[in-house]
Structure 1
Amino acid sequence: MFDIFRQYPRRTLIVMLAVAAIASIYLAITVRFTMEQNDGHIGALLDDTWIHVRFAEHLSEGQGLAYNEGELTSGATSLLWVLTLAIPFTIFDPGIFSQVDIAIAMSAVGYVLTALAITAFGWWATRRAWIGFAAGLITALTGRYIWMGLTGMEITTFTTLCILSIWSHMQDIRDRRSLGWRTGILLALTTLARPEAYLLTALVGLDAVIFVPLRDETTRQARNQRILGSWRGIIAYSLLAGSYPLANLLIDGYPLPNTFRAKSQLGNETPDLPRAFFWMANVDHGAFFIVLAGIGTLYILWLTWRRKGTSITWALWPSVFILGVLFLGAERYVVNHSRYIAPSIPFNALAAVVGVWAISRLRWTSLMWLRQYLLPIGLVGILAVVTFARGEKNVHQVANDVKQLRRMHVQAGYWFDATTQPDEAIALNDVGAMVHISDRRVIDLEGLVYPEVIEATNDTADYTCEHDLQLARVMLKDPPRFIGVFPWFYPCLTEWPGALQPETIFTIRGPTVLAGGELVIYYPVWENWPMLGSLPPEITLSGARFADSIELAAYNFQVVENGLEVTLWWQAHGQPDEDYHVFVHLVDQRGHLVTLPDTSGALQTLQHDSQPQERGYHYFPTSWWRDGDIIRDTHIIQWDDLSIFTQPGYQINVGLYRFPSGERLVVRDGPLPDQDHVTIPLALNIRRWG
């Protein structure tokens, strides 16, 4: 892999130092500006950084893969990054903000290493130093990538390992091996850095087993020998990369981490192609860059087919990677400055420079100095200037994102620390800084570190009542003291009448990489929760079971200022098939609906029909009920003369019916089965209002 650098040691030193210097200077300028804008502080750009830091701290303390203390979970997307952070945490035992600083420093080193890796690989793959230098230069000047370098995340490490893995694989091909031990180890480390590397492993395997033998016209016997000779690489990869899926399987019963299960939208979303595919490159570099990268990719594929000892992986990987990420979640090309597809940046930079090389090799002029020197220098210069100009705003973005995270998540973490007791739980949809600073047990409403949420919401769509109600059930079983969310994430639950009482709000202004500009901390009012955990005391039990798995478990009457308040407690013994209306009728001794003239003389029936918990446009349809739910459902039969409700012999009929047909559900089990209602004596159960 390093043969060409041994031949030209002085040139290698100059090229590498130049790229490292450019990357380091750009990095230093960005850090200095960020600190100036944040009172001398540097900090995490993403809340996810705090998640990795907390996992690493617990690992360094011997707790294993735990986020909530003492609770193992497979919530770490990047096991390699957590293990890497745990090493200095174990040695130096830093405070929580120093832990974040260490993570940022290490990802910044990864940014420089990526620029150096693509420089060296580009030089080695093309045997031209200027191509490697240009690829490293463009990578270092890409504003989005320097943002990635200051996140404190695994992005730059993963990208560097991708480059090294492909480089090692191409060396294997030149050495007539399918998979050497070095490539196996590098691919395994890349897979442990991010699970998207399974795609890279598959691409390397297809290249080694199918494409290369087909291109080289290798006999079946020779191909089998090469595969059998790869046993060291296969074992190395299996042992290293297979360890984490096995651990996940033992911890949570699934081979992939919770983050994949919680965030993957495979089969549920369709990316906006081709716009999404080219979106990031167009924003970072412009249309001219995309054209050159396309030319370079085609040129690499053409060279690969014509020459032995080369590979299709370095040409196809950025496209395969971007498409894979987009189909796993169509919105990921914009989330967090496109961090999920940022690892394609250096490969696209190299492809664009190879495109310049391809154009320079065309014999469109006899002037060699123009074609082979002036043109490449000019085109690369244009790419570098445009890339820097387009990415300069990211320097300001880094400072802004640090400031916003400190104002919202960090301050909220201090608030939880001051307001809650150490043994109390909190429920959040961003579980990084707030949890690590407060050191409170968390119910993660996104499921990243709390797999019970994934199980509960697996078959529901985000931003729907079905989704929010499943979260309500989870929190009912494990009640938090406070719930801190971005309200638009959970529109149904946050607007449920009386269920959540706003306690405090943390706001930020302007464009943000966070999930929203307003984080609201709510106090849950459990008596107004959509469903209850148990029946309250001082009520009358019923036990009448209707068809479709619905039981009238209990009831209570109370004369209030404007009539009779009838409170019903329904219990679901399964998920009802339909949405039913509830009727509550006041009847006389003969079972006839009581009808009286009102003040205007018009006859009015004393009844109340509605969907369960109906309040204006809000209600709780029976089709949303789940097995075990206890639903508190209040109805008011309005009448000004309250004495009517104390008449002897008056009763209340309660039941359910299909709307609009009026067909009633039959009582299957109760005092009088096979009736279409439950009759409750009124005088024996009434309570006075006030």
Structure 2
Amino acid sequence: MGKKLVTAQVSKQQVVTILLISLFVFYTVAAVLISIVVPLGGSPDEPAHFMFVQYVAQNGRLPVMQPRYTDNATVEAFQAPAYYVLAALVTRPFMEGDIVLFRNPAFTFGTQSPMFLPLEEQRFPWHGVYCAWHLARFFSITLGWITLGATYCSARLVFKNHWLALAATAYIAMNPQFIYLNSMVTNDVLAATAGSLLTLAAFNLLDNSSLKNVVLIALTIGLAALTKPSTLTILPGIGWAFFIAWRKTPSTRARWVSLGLIMGIPLACSGWWFLRNQQLYGDFLGLAAAKQALSSNYYAAPLTLGQLLDILPQMARQTFQTYWGYFGWIAFPLSDIAYFVILFLNLLALIGLLWRSKFLRRNVQALVLGTMWLGMMFGFLYYNLETNSSGWQGRFLFPGLSVTAIGFIAGWSTWLRRREVLIGSLVMSLGLLLSVYAMLGVVMPAYLPPSPVPMEAVSNTGDTKFAGDLVLVGYELQSERVKPGDNVQLTLYWSVQKLTETPYLFRVDGYTVHGDSIVRQTESNLARRFPSIVWPANQVLADRYTLRVSETYSQVVCSLGLQVIEGYEEPHSIFFNDSGGNPIGERLELGPLIISGNSQLRGGTDINAQFGTDEILLTGYDINPAIIKAGTPLTVTLAWRAQQQPTANYQVFVHLFDDKGQLVAQHDGSPKMGLYPTSAWSARENIIDLHVIQIPETVAGTLHPCVGLYALETLERLPVTWNNSTDCPDQSVPLAAFTVKQ
């Protein structure tokens, strides 16, 4: 029996080991793919981080931060040097030549566009400095292995369970932003690694307060200090762990030795760096020069508490999004649904932690974790008292990745007690879905060039030519009939007849005949993500839009229009041409978009008059007011119902006759003041149609309204099935008479 139990335990551990290896393999493959696909410079400040690496590799010394931005070899020169020195050692043999980056002329912050576009010399096989850049990216990926390994070991010490440790590791390994960031050149990668090693060292010290573990934690503090100041924000938890271990040390001599080691080793490792900063910049962190050179990233004066509270919701939103997945230079987000699910799961974990707070207060490891997390959050908020929205980035919280992951799993352990295998399986499965979606649904479409479309697949072909060599070869609208608030997909098919140096932007909107905005102006993602200056000649590219229909308007027809904007610095619209090459206009009408709906007449009088061959019914009406003063407007509201979709655009007439049968006033026009012509009506749709008629000042007595439909081209009225009446001319329906007073 005992032998079977041991065999089962070994088997479970083997399963966890296989899954853990699979986790590392998945992370590595995903990160390598991203590092290859995303152009160099594809994350915030990556060019400046690599220039720091390049400077160290080529000069054998650290750069000095200059107060003026343009005087710097790299604007990251004030940063702690550990990451850059290590990356320089890896890349130095390949650091030949100068860097040339191609900035995307269509890039602006807040748009879904890459900041840099790939150059031919940056393509595989890589050579010289570009090979060095990719090697530095691969170095970042290997640091991610250490982060994941340290997290697994920390979670094993906390939970004493392989499955929960696996779940904590998966929480990080399948975080899309972690994968993306670890495929770039940035010191935030080593900051995450140092933070995870500090967390592991703290738990090792709690488990065994030997001098060996004191030395290890002291060395890790030194590494953290030389990596990034934000890593030191978890030191309160480290200090708490050391204090607990220090009190358990039985020997007074060992206590003093460990105290000397925990203070002396970090100072010996990193003290020179702080003294250098003091000598060069006048402060230990070197932030004085950074604030001068990067003044646009800082407030003129630190925020007050009230100001911080005002921006806190916006700060929390952007920080959360960039913690989980906001790629490029904060350009390509996950979907709102993805953010919501992630937030929901984390809130449930937090509630679970609070539910167990009474137990956790007696748990030393939980107190250390909580102190680390609070220190990290207070450090982040303090940093953002001086830094504007450029500091609202989740990567600045990555030193606490292990802390957050362990806390998440501990919270879920409250809800799923003794369900360790289920927790591990759920985190792995959901993490896999999230990371695959982020890779294939966001990152790859954002950076891979679009595939050419075969001409036979293009709908509504027309070859509309614009000034220059730009041609709209066709378009496709997902549906011509939508409802208020819907999203509708539009695809434009573009081509350039030869390589162009002109960058274009494309904007689509939709207006009614009265100028009401139905589809707000929507800009092309293709033109910013893959600008026209890099389009191949004579190939068709698909430009896809998601158009948002206004919720305000119902039962209207809008005209979708296209504008082509030339240039980015001084943008202006360009004309489209006729077949002879003559300019026609700046807004190309693509076609109608029908916003349908159903309207009901409240009150009024029921009626049942059929027009045409069972096409249109008049089902009711209302006349307001019933007694009216001469010289004032009368409103006649008609309730129509389309039995089937009308085949033509009919005009509505409302004529007013006196007792002698003389026409005294009228209103003729398309339904709903021209906003919703009858050809746009759908079968079984109910339409409310208002007609305002000015009553002449000379009229008095009883007036008899009559309603009908006619074709504008021929003025021929539609036949109507209705009770015979002498009150109205042929092919019209009488409504209730009303009185006009002088």
Using CA pairs below 8 Å that are at least 6 residues apart, which structure has the higher relative contact order?
A: 1
Shorter-chain TM range is: 0.3 to 0.5
- Choose 1 or 2 for highest CA Rg: 2
